[in-house]
Amino acid sequence: MTRNLLLISNSTNQGEQYLSWVKNDIVAFCRKHNVANALFIPYAGVNVGQSFEGKTIEDSYNLYVERVQDVFAKDGITVKSVESVENAESAECIIVGGGNTFHLVYELHRLNLMDAIAKRVKEGIPYIGWSAGANIACPTMKTTNDMPIVEPKSLNTLNLVPFQINPHYLDANPAGHGGETREDRIREFLVANKDVTVVGLREATALEVTDDSIKLIGSRNMRIFQSGKDPVEISSKDDLNFLLGY
């Protein structure tokens, strides 16, 4: 299967500028695949901007596109917002930003973009997604962390990889918190989806998938969850191809 994917847990580390921790990896990925023009999908960004009262969701999308454009403006990568299915069908690279996964998936199904994007990426064009954008590279969005602010037509997503990603994976249970941990939530998912592997992708890490090989980017481990097994810590030195069925 032809795949060129960069699946990123998060856009921003605490105290850092937007996308700064992963910018060099994104630029290197784009140059590796000769990307000069990228199509950006902003639909997860339902509330971009610190002051949003009286503004529309289209304003939020526009701010989101401008934010991403500003990051890559000096690197020879032109970023434009998606406008139609035809845009997606002719794109040379697709970038999907983070935010609310339910809203992202709702819009992609409503606008008939889910299948168009999947088809184009499976033909080999590069795909970059962070947070929600990484989550929807999976068969479904069921391992998102987000609130269901809208109801998508389906929870099925791009199915670019055969496993699930939980972005922003956290080990800790915050002091005073009496609810479920992230691990508890994933174990619940595995009770109902016994044959699915879940990758807990910690912040400041990413997965790069090239055809039938996969590698972990970043200095932190990721955590693998499978039904009936104890979670396993995986580092960038480990062979990850088992995630792709090899």
**Residues in Cβ contact with 149 at an 8 Å cutoff, skipping those fewer than 6 apart:** 46, 100, 102, 103
DSSP 116-136: HHHHHHHTT--EEEETHHHHT
- Using only C-alpha atoms, the chain has a radius of gyration, in whole angstroms, of 17
Q: What's at 81, amino acid-wise?
A: S
From the list 168, 227, 236, 238, the catalytic residue is 168
Question: CA 203, 128, 23, 242: dihedral to nearest 10 degrees?
Answer: 50
Tell me the C-alpha distance between 105 and 124, whole Å.
22
From the list 9, 11, 60, 131, the catalytic residue is 131
Tell me the C-alpha distance between 95 and 154, whole Å.
21
**Residues in Cβ contact with 53 at an 8 Å cutoff, skipping those fewer than 6 apart:** none
Instruction: Please choose, from the candidates 210, 242, 246, the residue with its C-alpha nearest in 3D space to the C-alpha of residue 229.
Output: 242
Q: Are 189 and 32 in contact (CB under 8 A)?
A: no
Q: Is 219 a catalytic residue?
A: no
Q: Is 33 a catalytic residue?
A: no
Tokens 């930003």 sit on residue: 97
Residue 50 Cα distances to 20, 46, 54, 72, angstroms: 19, 12, 12, 22
Q: Is 146 a catalytic residue?
A: yes
List, by residue number, the catalytic residues: 131, 146, 168
